[in-house]
Every structure is written in structure tokens, then in C-alpha cells.
């Protein structure tokens, strides 16, 4: 019998399970600085895998992580996840087994059917749709080049797709045949390694469970921490992790992280922990009234991503209405999704607090839409239609400024409000949106109108000019023209006097 590295004591019992020998070990693993007794079950196939992969340079860390996992405790070994089906294009014979390197949600579904089904129906699983968006135009055209270095598409492959997911492909030669090394089909390096949440896999499934569940330990504590989401949900256009850290939720979490009971098998807010919520608490984890869900949109009522926010169910309702079809069973309206999130909030906050928060949040989103999102989107569309802008994406400064307004600054204002981060709502959000519109976009639109008049497009210029004047003369923008109403001017003067009195006293 082989002696395995890092296994301290071989138990006395050798059990027979079907035709496979199962070996139970008691090992002491250094977890978080302390030794934890941990019995693991190793089948005959996994024993063979370990005999090689527990050696230096062959994946020793993989084996060590697996030994500390719940999988190891219950006998889920290497072949349980990596076994390939007959006909899998990336499958190959390896030491007597037919396996594949990439483990997909379909593989995980053998044991985790509910989780896989929820995930496949989620917004996360569709994150790969970015490949048809303006973001990917930036990566493939503006920032980089699709055909660079033999088509490696480095800006997209190393950036966008690492979060959103690639479409995994096998490497082929000039004849179209799959390239193999020692009988192993090779993945196209343009598309893999990649654990993007919306990865499109060779078996037709979407997503990568290991985007969140770090292999091969698959530890509950790791996946419940906000840093797990921060790998992708960060930065200038969607700084959720920065927003969370600024919020009271994040402040309290970091202060009392050791009291969060993060490694508990059962993790119900209000029962197993009470000090703070994490991203998982609000969007996925169980409450006394709701089970764990891997449909991350099940508690979200607004979509804060696009140029103009809409309720999260709006596009699907429109799609099915256009097709003349009924909404599918289990479809959640935005009101039902909001009620799901409110249920999470109620575990810590009163009904009045929660309802008033949503009043503030809705008002912020609607204000962004009405004052900036809708007018800016409308006039940009009109300028393209009337020939004041070219059809080429990002070849004119105004297009960059519009992108900043909604994709970066507008998102920050909306996301900041959604997660109670006032500095992101105000100075990183609303202020930047207003500055972008009044200081950059409006003067640039006026310049393009003047240029169109001089170059023979007076008719198009007139259409755009009329629309701009209509926008700027509206109630929320007319201050810019010095046309504030007497009533509003008096109110502002009174407020200013009250402010000075407060601080002069």
C-alpha cells in the first residue's frame, strides 16, 4: 500500500464499496493557523491520482486543498468531477480513466442539481453576453486588436473575459483538426484558462462554478466573504466592493469578521450570525423565510447597468409580449424580487427603515434617469440619426463623454445609493454625472451643431439644436440658462441664509 504525503495516520479499517476500495484517513491539516482533525475518504482511483499529483510540481497544492474539503470527507474524489462522457470533445484517456480538464456546471449538477439549475437561469450565467457589447468593442478594437499575435485578442482575453467569461474553444491546426499533446486535446489559449462567471463551455453549459467556489477546497467561509465578489465587482464602472467597504455594512463586517461564523454548514442570517451582512447574505444566502439561491437576480428589483435604469423584469416581459407568449413558470416580478430582498433587510431593520430606504433609492434612480440618462441617450441617438456623429464607435470625444456619464459615473451614483455608500452616490456619482453633462457634453453638442451648420447639414443641426434647447429649458436644467424661477430662486436664497445663520451662531 502506498504511503501518501501529508497523511499522518492510516485508519485500521479498509472498506469495500461496490468494486472500489475506499480508504479512510485521519489527517491533521493546518487550517487558518490551527490544526484541525479531518477524516477523508479516498477511493482507489483518487489514490492513483494522489500518487502523482501529491508530488512537487505536479499539483501538490491541489491535493492539499482537496484533503481539507467537504468533498474529501464524503468520498467525492477526482474522477467524480473530472470524468468525461463518451463523445466529449475535450475528453482524453489518462491513466485508465476518460477525463476532461474543465469541470462545468453540468458536471457539478450531478450532485448539485438545484444550484446548477438556478445558476444557469441567473444573470451571472449570461455575463458572457458582454462579447456583443460596447465594452467588447473597446477591448477588441479601441484598446487592443482582435487579430493581434495570431488572434490572441489580449485585451479581451486577459481583461473582460476573465470576469465575464470566454467561449471556450479547442485549439485547431490549419486543417481544422484538434491539436493534441500526448493525446490530450489542447484548449485555445485565447479562451482558456478562464473561470469567468458567464463562460460558455464546450458541453453547452454556461458559467463556471469555480468563479466563486475556489477549487479544490470549495470552502464555505471563502465564498461567503465580500472579497470573493470583489474580484469582478470593483473598479470605476461597478465598484460594489468599494461601495460595500464604505457602507456601514462593510465597516461592521470588517470590525467583527471573526464573529460571522463563516465556516458554518448552516448559515442563516439572524440565527447563525447577526453582526453584519455580506454580499452573499443579501443576494444569495438563506434567511429564516428563504432558502439559499444561486439566482443572483432573485432579490434585485432594478437593473443599474444600462444607460437608463429599468425594473429588472421589464426586458423579459417585453420579450415574451412581443413573442405573444406567457411568462414562464417561476417568473419573478420586480415586486416579488423586492419583497425577497426586504425579507433579508427585515432580519436587522424595522419595516419603516426598509421602506424609507427604498423610497430614497428609487428616487435617486428615477432622478438620474429623468435628468441625465434619458435626455443624454435621446440626444446622442438623434445626433447619430441626423449625421452629426459618425457610425464609428468611440471616434469622437462626445461618445467617450457619454460613455463615462452612464457607464461609469451614472452607475456609481445608482450603485452607491443601492448599497448605502453616500460618497459614491455623491462625489463619485451625481457630481461626476453633472460635471460630465454640463461642462463636457453640452458644449461639445453645441460645437457639433455649429460645425454641421457650416458644413451643409443645417437641417440635421436644427433638429438637434431644438432638442438640446428643449432639454435645457426643462425644469431640472433651466438653471444652466440662468432661467431659474422666482419661487425657486427665493427658496435657494432662504436656504442659504439659514445655512449661514446655523454656522455663524
pLDDT tens per residue across span 391-424: 999 999 999 999 999 999 999 999 999 999 999 9
pLDDT score of 14 = 32
Quote the CA–CA distance of 339 and 351 in Å, as a whole number.
Answer: 12
Angle among Cα 338, 290, 75 to the nearest 5 degrees reads: 135
| Average pLDDT over the chain, rounded to an integer | 91
pLDDT score of 484 = 80
Say if residues 472 and 478 touch (Cβ distance below 8 Å): yes
- Locate the DSSP E strands across 142-285: 180-181, 184-185
Length of the chain: 505
Q: From the centroid of its chain, how far is CA 405?
A: 20
pLDDT score of 160 = 94
pLDDT score of 77 = 96
> Per the structure block, which three cell numbers stand in for 17?
464499496
> pTM for the whole thing?
0.89
pLDDT tens per residue across span 216-235: 999 999 999 999 999 999 99
Name the phi and psi angles at 71, rounded to 5: -55, -45
pLDDT tens per residue across span 299-319: 999 999 999 999 999 988 998
Say if residues 155 and 140 touch (Cβ distance below 8 Å): yes
Mean pLDDT across the stretch 339-350?
98
pLDDT score of 12 = 29
Quote the CA–CA distance of 201 and 272 in Å, as a whole number.
Answer: 36
* Best CA proximity match to 413, nearest among 381, 451, 373, 452: 373
Amino acid at each position: 500500500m502506498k504511503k501518501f504525503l501529508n497523511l499522518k495516520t492510516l485508519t485500521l479499517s479498509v472498506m469495500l464499496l461496490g468494486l472500489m476500495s475506499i480508504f479512510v484517513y485521519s489527517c491533521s491539516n493546518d487550517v487558518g493557523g490551527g490544526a484541525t482533525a479531518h477524516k477523508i475518504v479516498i477511493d482507489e482511483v483518487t489514490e492513483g491520482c494522489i500518487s502523482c499529483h501529491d508530488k512537487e510540481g505536479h499539483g501538490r497544492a491541489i491535493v492539499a486543498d482537496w484533503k481539507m474539503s467537504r468533498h474529501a470527507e464524503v468520498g467525492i474524489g477526482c474522477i467524480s468531477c473530472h470524468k468525461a462522457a463518451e463523445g466529449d470533445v475535450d475528453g482524453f484517456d489518462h491513466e485508465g480513466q476518460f477525463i476532461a480538464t474543465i469541470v462545468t456546471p453540468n458536471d457539478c449538477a450531478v450532485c448539485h442539481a438545484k444550484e446548477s439549475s438556478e445558476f444557469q437561469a441567473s444573470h451571472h450565467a449570461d455575463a458572457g453576453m458582454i462579447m456583443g457589447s460596447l465594452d467588447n468593442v473597446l477591448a477588441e478594437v479601441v484598446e487592443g486588436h482582435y487579430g493581434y499575435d495570431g488572434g490572441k485578442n489580449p485585451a479581451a482575453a486577459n481583461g473582460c473575459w476573465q470576469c465575464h467569461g470566454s467561449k471556450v474553444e479547442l485549439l485547431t491546426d490549419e486543417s481544422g483538426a484538434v491539436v493534441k499533446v500526448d493525446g490530450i486535446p489542447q484548449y485555445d489559449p485565447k479562451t482558456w484558462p478562464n473561470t469567468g462567471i458567464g463562460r460558455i463551455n464546450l458541453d453547452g453549459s454556461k458559467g463556471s462554478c469555480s468563479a466563486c467556489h475556489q477549487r479544490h477546497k470549495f470552502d464555505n467561509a471563502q465564498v461567503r466573504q465580500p472579497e470573493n465578489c470583489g474580484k469582478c465587482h470593483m473598479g470605476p464602472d461597478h465598484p460594489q466592493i468599494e461601495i460595500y467597504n464604505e457602507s456601514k455594512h462593510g465597516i461592521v463586517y470588517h470590525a467583527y469578521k471573526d464573529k460571522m461564523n463563516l465556516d458554518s454548514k448552516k448559515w442563516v442570517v439572524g440565527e447563525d450570525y447577526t453582526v453584519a451582512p455580506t454580499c452573499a447574505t443579501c443576494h444569495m444566502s438563506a434567511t429564516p423565510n428563504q432558502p439559499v439561491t444561486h439566482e443572483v437576480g432573485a432579490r434585485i428589483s432594478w437593473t443599474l447597468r444600462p444607460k437608463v435604469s429599468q425594473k429588472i423584469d421589464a426586458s423579459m416581459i417585453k420579450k415574451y409580449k412581443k413573442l405573444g407568449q406567457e411568462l414562464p413558470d417561476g417568473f419573478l416580478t420586480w415586486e416579488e424580487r423586492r419583497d425577497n430582498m426586504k425579507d433579508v433587510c427585515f432580519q436587522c431593520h424595522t419595516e419603516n427603515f426598509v421602506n424609507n430606504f427604498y423610497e430614497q433609492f428609487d428616487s435617486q434612480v428615477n432622478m438620474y434617469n429623468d435628468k441625465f440618462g434619458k435626455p443624454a441617450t435621446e440626444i446622442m441617438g438623434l445626433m447619430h440619426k441626423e449625421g452629426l456623429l459618425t457610425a464609428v464607435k468611440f471616434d469622437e470625444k462626445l461618445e467617450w463623454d457619454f460613455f463615462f456619464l452612464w457607464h461609469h459615473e451614472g452607475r456609481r451614483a445608482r450603485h452607491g445609493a443601492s448599497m448605502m455608500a453616500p460618497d459614491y452616490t455623491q462625489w463619485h456619482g451625481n457630481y461626476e454625472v453633472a460635471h460630465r453633462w454640463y461642462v463636457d457634453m453640452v458644449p461639445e453638442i453645441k460645437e457639433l451643431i455649429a460645425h454641421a451648420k457650416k458644413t451643409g447639414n443645417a437641417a440635421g443641426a436644427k433638429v438637434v439644436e431644438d432638442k438640446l434647447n428643449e432639454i435645457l429649458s426643462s425644469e431640472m436644467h433651466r438653471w444652466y440658462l440662468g432661467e431659474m424661477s422666482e419661487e425657486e430662486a427665493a427658496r435657494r436664497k432662504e436656504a442659504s441664509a439659514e445655512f449661514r445663520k446655523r454656522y455663524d451662531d
